[in-house]
Protein backbone atom coordinates (compact mmCIF):
# COMPACT_ATOMS: atom_id res chain seq x y z
CA UNK A 1 0.00 0.00 0.00
CA UNK A 2 2.77 2.42 0.85
CA UNK A 3 4.26 2.04 -2.64
CA UNK A 4 1.20 3.81 -4.03
CA UNK A 5 2.32 7.05 -2.37
CA UNK A 6 5.26 7.43 -4.74
CA UNK A 7 9.01 7.47 -4.15
CA UNK A 8 8.77 9.22 -0.77
CA UNK A 9 6.15 6.79 0.55
CA UNK A 10 4.30 8.13 3.56
CA UNK A 11 7.13 10.51 4.51
CA UNK A 12 6.49 13.09 1.81
CA UNK A 13 3.39 14.99 0.78
CA UNK A 14 1.06 12.40 2.34
CA UNK A 15 2.28 12.98 5.90
CA UNK A 16 2.36 16.77 5.42
CA UNK A 17 -1.22 16.69 4.08
CA UNK A 18 -2.37 14.59 7.04
CA UNK A 19 -0.73 17.00 9.48
CA UNK A 20 -2.23 20.05 7.74
CA UNK A 21 -5.69 18.48 7.71
CA UNK A 22 -5.54 17.51 11.38
CA UNK A 23 -4.22 20.98 12.28
CA UNK A 24 -7.21 22.64 10.56
CA UNK A 25 -9.62 20.19 12.21
CA UNK A 26 -8.15 20.92 15.64
CA UNK A 27 -8.28 24.69 15.09
CA UNK A 28 -11.92 24.57 13.97
CA UNK A 29 -13.26 21.74 16.13
CA UNK A 30 -16.15 23.81 17.51
CA UNK A 31 -17.33 24.62 13.99
CA UNK A 32 -16.96 21.01 12.88
CA UNK A 33 -18.95 19.71 15.83
CA UNK A 34 -21.74 22.27 15.38
CA UNK A 35 -22.03 21.65 11.65
CA UNK A 36 -21.70 17.90 12.09
CA UNK A 37 -24.57 17.74 14.56
CA UNK A 38 -26.97 18.89 11.84
CA UNK A 39 -25.84 16.06 9.55
CA UNK A 40 -26.32 13.31 12.12
CA UNK A 41 -29.65 12.53 13.71
CA UNK A 42 -29.25 13.49 17.38
CA UNK A 43 -25.63 12.52 18.06
CA UNK A 44 -25.16 11.07 21.50
CA UNK A 45 -23.14 12.97 24.06
CA UNK A 46 -20.76 10.01 24.16
CA UNK A 47 -20.01 10.17 20.43
CA UNK A 48 -19.41 13.93 20.64
CA UNK A 49 -17.00 13.35 23.55
CA UNK A 50 -15.12 10.71 21.52
CA UNK A 51 -14.76 13.13 18.62
CA UNK A 52 -13.50 15.86 20.95
CA UNK A 53 -10.97 13.49 22.54
CA UNK A 54 -9.65 12.54 19.10
CA UNK A 55 -9.34 16.18 18.06
CA UNK A 56 -7.46 16.91 21.30
CA UNK A 57 -4.82 14.33 20.38
CA UNK A 58 -6.08 11.15 22.02
CA UNK A 59 -6.17 7.82 20.23
CA UNK A 60 -9.51 6.46 21.45
CA UNK A 61 -10.01 2.93 20.22
CA UNK A 62 -10.29 -0.41 22.01
CA UNK A 63 -8.72 -2.06 18.94
CA UNK A 64 -5.56 0.00 19.36
CA UNK A 65 -5.20 -0.19 23.11
CA UNK A 66 -6.54 -3.55 24.28
CA UNK A 67 -6.14 -2.77 27.96
CA UNK A 68 -6.88 0.93 28.02
CA UNK A 69 -9.26 2.96 25.92
CA UNK A 70 -7.49 6.29 25.96
CA UNK A 71 -4.02 7.73 26.14
CA UNK A 72 -2.46 11.03 27.06
CA UNK A 73 -2.90 13.75 24.43
CA UNK A 74 -0.37 13.48 21.62
CA UNK A 75 1.27 16.20 19.61
CA UNK A 76 -0.19 16.72 16.17
CA UNK A 77 2.80 15.05 14.52
CA UNK A 78 2.70 12.19 17.03
CA UNK A 79 -0.99 11.56 16.44
CA UNK A 80 -0.52 11.51 12.66
CA UNK A 81 2.43 9.11 13.01
CA UNK A 82 0.43 6.79 15.27
CA UNK A 83 -2.60 6.80 12.97
CA UNK A 84 -0.40 6.03 9.96
CA UNK A 85 1.21 3.17 11.92
CA UNK A 86 -2.23 1.78 12.78
CA UNK A 87 -3.47 2.14 9.21
CA UNK A 88 -0.42 0.39 7.75
CA UNK A 89 -0.23 -2.39 10.36
CA UNK A 90 -0.45 -5.77 8.62
CA UNK A 91 -2.70 -7.13 11.39
CA UNK A 92 -5.28 -4.50 10.46
CA UNK A 93 -4.79 -4.80 6.71
CA UNK A 94 -5.50 -8.54 6.66
CA UNK A 95 -8.94 -7.85 8.13
CA UNK A 96 -10.01 -5.65 5.20
CA UNK A 97 -12.98 -6.61 3.06
CA UNK A 98 -11.74 -8.86 0.24
CA UNK A 99 -14.14 -7.20 -2.21
CA UNK A 100 -12.03 -4.04 -2.02
CA UNK A 101 -9.49 -5.98 -4.13
CA UNK A 102 -6.31 -4.10 -3.12
CA UNK A 103 -4.24 -6.61 -5.08
CA UNK A 104 -5.51 -5.30 -8.44
Residues 1-38 pLDDT 10s: 677 777 888 888 999 999 999 999 889 888 877 765 55
Query: Which pLDDT band holds residue 43 (cuts at 50, 70, 90)?
Result: low
With a threshold of 0.75, does the pTM exceed it?
Answer: no
Give the domain ranges of the chain: 2-100
Residues 46-63 pLDDT 10s: 677 777 778 888 777 655
Contacts made by residues 25-30, CB under 8 angstroms, sequence distance 24+: 25/55, 26/55, 26/56, 26/57, 26/76, 29/55
- pLDDT at residue number 40: 55
- pLDDT at residue number 67: 45
Amino acid sequence: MVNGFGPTGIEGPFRKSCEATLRVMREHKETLLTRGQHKVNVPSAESVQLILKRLEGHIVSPEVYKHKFSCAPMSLEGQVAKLIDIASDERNLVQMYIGWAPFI
